[in-house]
Structure 1
């Protein structure tokens, strides 16, 4: 990624998102070639709830935002203005956006006029429809493609729409996003009020919510093609953004069978509907958050869990069948910036854009080598094959990263690769699925020979348990093949006219005492005549042995009791 001293001020965009639960400040770099992933070079947050600021009286009635809160907001805006000056952000590239809480405040005009007077900044007030549209674009920015239902749960409101985002084009409901006054903070307050009135009032609230969501789904005019796709795949994908849902997602992470959950990033986290809808379990977890700190779940977020649980309960009954729940980081800030991008930029694959800065000039040739090291057809006996998750995009991303840790001290290279997608070079890259992060980390930890420390071995085990046993084994195999490529091309440069080696693969049937007749993956390494004079087969023996070792049964990846261990017998054959 671009370092701070190399930033071009004209490519920097500052956004203030004045939400209901807090105010977010960010500066993003839209310089090529990483424009698509909108790298953040600065971010901050002020825990000022503009929604709660309007409910401070004893009778609980809504009132104006107080002068002291306005002073606090302006103080933080002026502080951010100084930050923008430090980064040399152009005045025309600074945007202050206001949403539900500001839009509906009794003294909204006075509030934004005071901001203009004391900071010189105009506040762009987003209408309900604009807020929903930009929030939906924030979801689109978070994934390579989107097809399903989209919800954004803010503090004051929640929005629902459908979306198809593909090849840079984003299509949503003709009605835009339908907004409801059921934000996490707003619904928390209303739920408290209804419970004070008795069970009947709570039943009326639930009935109201169900009717509104059922009518909204009809009004969204979900296209037949989207409904047919959902029927074929067993349900809709549901994409969730907004602080209320992110808190719910982090609670789900804390309940994972992998303890602790290995990828502490909300964007790309996926949950199955049964876990997402298990409101009683999640509420129980939230109730213990004061005794046991839960990552990214503040006291305020924990206090809103009963309201979010109610919302999830209603959605479960009102929305059509859901097959997967996808959480994303993208919100108003990301959607606002994504709206600026040209379709040819939007359609770029985020995983490739995130890794381009680390590619050598021969990344394409390295990709061809990696691709030719995996078989194109399943094995004849046990139908062993490369998992579908190892897509061309993922292999190209791995090819871009094969040499990224070459300058790291030798003994820490495997660890640097292992942590590259969570706390390392790709930690700040949004739009990556957790499965892709895990696979890349596992491949890069095998790319460099060496041992991992016990704590790092534990992390590696959790990543292997996170993916399937098949994905874990092929990650190990590809990492060791990448190591062989590094032995032959230490600078990561593959001569166009005189490549030193070529790969090919084939399946053979072999007999082993414990397995009987089984499949063997033969990786054939063809040396070019001039290569053999400078790189002997003996020089590659250690690495080829490592590749073959991952095919021995004792090194297979442990699977569950039903599937057993997974691995493929492997041989490497060197040819002149």
Structure 2
């Protein structure tokens, strides 16, 4: 049994929320702890919030409901034993619905007597802080406002998360009684005539919270420079809203079905849900969630009125479960970039040297036109390292499917379950890896490639092809991922911007000069093929959008 699969690293968690009870076992082995791999997960679709209301009046949680909860916990206890989870590694955590229950103490006491598990009751302030940490676990960096929408309440705070350091408001998180289920009840009680008053109440409370949270000036300035605030949203209600927006996206069908890392601009955040037909038929929208959409729409519009300057909205999978797990990790593990952690298990022997070589294939910033440069997301150290770590993952696949397997690696493939990846990371790495494996797809898979390219954009998509071709050449030179530099095996690469004169028309065009130097004759054939492939990616017919699309000419030469 590998270190990663040793039960001593397993953490079992029961998250007793307002809309459901979630059971999970996660593997926090050091090698992959940053992405918190899930060994087992299940959900009991029982609303502890709804269980406390009858005919609009609050009542104790009934014995029949308590029995259902205990039955689910006992089943999970057996599963934990089957996975050999140490008893001390099991936590049962309850949030607002349990905290505010009339018979909360008796409810928790019955659970402890039946299971021997003590229920940890999160304070309102802790719930917001832990929810924020769950959102932090869902991204590599965060700079903006974070919000968590549960069934009974919503929490709001600000967060700066960079290099593993998490900063949030010294006031913690502000909690509002505006959960998805609670909003349904409030709207029903207010009636149509009272909706304006409720909206004003919510807007006033949101605006006050933004003042009380003591947002640092640096974060406010960043929002101003970037054209508005970035919002990071978590919780079942917000995720449901995200799936609706995904279904209404201009890219149809939207190619990444994973909610974590999905991003929309403000203009797409406030659609008219009344125009959206059959929400229950939408992917990942249950009948219960569909019934809450009008209430969530009301909440979203009130938020937009209170925070008029919003640039982008990100949706996060992380909530209380992820927040509790992420909070338990050491700072050096929290600081890891999720994409690097997720690909590490496939890393070749000479990862560092191969990463340096791949970086050298990218020309330095353009002196006069930055719009020609590759996006920073493609050239960052963590992205290039991740590319190299995944470089040989599909070499055992038949040629018929290696490119499409690589293309789908970040959605339903080996990285599909990786927590913390943004959609742009998934799209770009998929495009790079597809090209690294040759880029040859069947007619069945070409539409998916087009959707991923549309998501990434023409410029990023062409540069992904370029980097993929460069990575493929490197893999051909060093098929085992070993460079043997200590034995004098040396390959040098350089890329720079230049101008060339077209032979037929005498037209001067800008190009990338791709240069290779090597000292072993046995590499002649591989280098010749590599140069051919690099020149080919610069041909207009291979540009994104064809001859009138986006791309750059590539010429090759030998380094002196």
Q: After TM superposition, give the deviation of residue 494 of structure 1 in Å.
A: 1.0
Alignment of 1:273-312 (within 5 A): 273-278=266-271, 280=272, 282-285=273-276, 287-290=277-280, 293-312=281-300
Q: Deviations over 1:530-552 (max 9, x none)?
A: x21x2333x44444323211111
**Pairing partner for 2:455 from 449, 466, 480:** 466
Which stretch of structure 1 is more off in the superposition, 519-528 or 249-258?
519-528
Q: Give me the whole-angstrom Cα distance separating, in 1, the residues matched to 2:337 and 2:312.
A: 22
Q: Give me the whole-angstrom Cα distance separating, in 1, the residues matched to 2:38 and 2:208.
A: 39
Secondary structure of 1:25's aligned partner: strand
Q: Structure 1 length as normaliser, TM-score?
A: 0.93
Count matched residues: 557
Q: Give me the whole-angstrom Cα distance separating, in 1, the residues matched to 2:48 and 2:550.
A: 54
1:548 and 2:546 matched? no
The corresponding residue for 1:214 is 207
Q: Give me the whole-angstrom Cα distance separating, in 2, the residues matched to 1:543 and 1:510.
A: 20
Aligned CA distance change for structure 1 residues 386 and 61 (closer, same or farther; 3 Å): same
Q: After TM superposition, give the deviation of residue 125 of structure 1 in Å.
A: 0.4
Aligned CA distance change for structure 1 residues 457 and 211 (closer, same or farther; 3 Å): same
Q: After TM superposition, give the deviation of residue 514 of structure 1 in Å.
A: 6.6
The corresponding residue for 1:47 is 45
**Pairing partner for 1:36 from 12, 34, 37:** 34
Q: Give me the whole-angstrom Cα distance separating, in 1, the residues matched to 2:263 and 2:302.
A: 20
The corresponding residue for 1:566 is 550
The corresponding residue for 1:15 is 13
Secondary structure of 1:455's aligned partner: coil
The corresponding residue for 1:522 is 513
The corresponding residue for 1:403 is 392
Aligned CA distance change for structure 1 residues 520 and 155 (closer, same or farther; 3 Å): same
Q: After TM superposition, give the deviation of residue 224 of structure 1 in Å.
A: 1.8
Q: Is the 8 A contact 2:4 2:30 kept in 1?
A: no
Q: Structure 2 length as normaliser, TM-score?
A: 0.95
Aligned CA distance change for structure 1 residues 301 and 268 (closer, same or farther; 3 Å): same
Aligned CA distance change for structure 1 residues 63 and 373 (closer, same or farther; 3 Å): same
Q: Is the 8 A contact 1:381 1:519 kept in 2?
A: no
Q: Give me the whole-angstrom Cα distance separating, in 2, the residues matched to 1:266 and 1:458.
A: 21
Secondary structure of 1:105's aligned partner: coil
5+ residue gaps, structure 2, are none
Q: Is the 8 A contact 2:61 2:101 kept in 1?
A: yes
The corresponding residue for 1:354 is 342
Q: Deviations over 1:499-558 (max 9, x none)?
A: 342211133311235792101212111121xx21x2333x44444323211111111112
Q: Give me the whole-angstrom Cα distance separating, in 1, the residues matched to 2:505 and 2:365.
A: 25
The corresponding residue for 2:492 is 502
Secondary structure of 2:329's aligned partner: coil
Which stretch of structure 1 is more off in the superposition, 342-351 or 157-166?
342-351
Q: Is the 8 A contact 2:232 2:315 kept in 1?
A: yes
Q: Deviations over 1:208-255 (max 9, x none)?
A: 212221222221111222212222222211111000000011111111
Alignment of 1:410-559 (within 5 A): 410-449=399-438, 451-497=440-486, 498-512=488-502, 513=504, 516-528=507-519, 531-532=520-521, 534-537=522-525, 539-558=526-545
The corresponding residue for 2:135 is 139
5+ residue gaps, structure 1, are none
Q: Is the 8 A contact 1:379 1:385 kept in 2?
A: no
Q: After TM superposition, give the deviation of residue 368 of structure 1 in Å.
A: 1.0
CA RMSD of aligned residues (A): 2.0
Q: Give me the whole-angstrom Cα distance separating, in 2, the residues matched to 1:535 and 1:135.
A: 54
Q: Deviations over 1:167-224 (max 9, x none)?
A: 22222112211111110011012212222xx41x222222221222122222111122
Aligned CA distance change for structure 1 residues 165 and 379 (closer, same or farther; 3 Å): closer
Secondary structure of 1:106's aligned partner: coil
Q: After TM superposition, give the deviation of residue 107 of structure 1 in Å.
A: 1.4
Aligned CA distance change for structure 1 residues 218 and 6 (closer, same or farther; 3 Å): closer
Alignment of 1:1-150 (within 5 A): 7-55=5-53, 57=54, 59-150=55-146
Q: Give me the whole-angstrom Cα distance separating, in 2, the residues matched to 1:382 and 1:354.
A: 31
Q: Is the 8 A contact 1:173 1:222 kept in 2?
A: yes
Q: After TM superposition, give the deviation of residue 60 of structure 1 in Å.
A: 2.2
Q: Is the 8 A contact 2:144 2:230 kept in 1?
A: yes
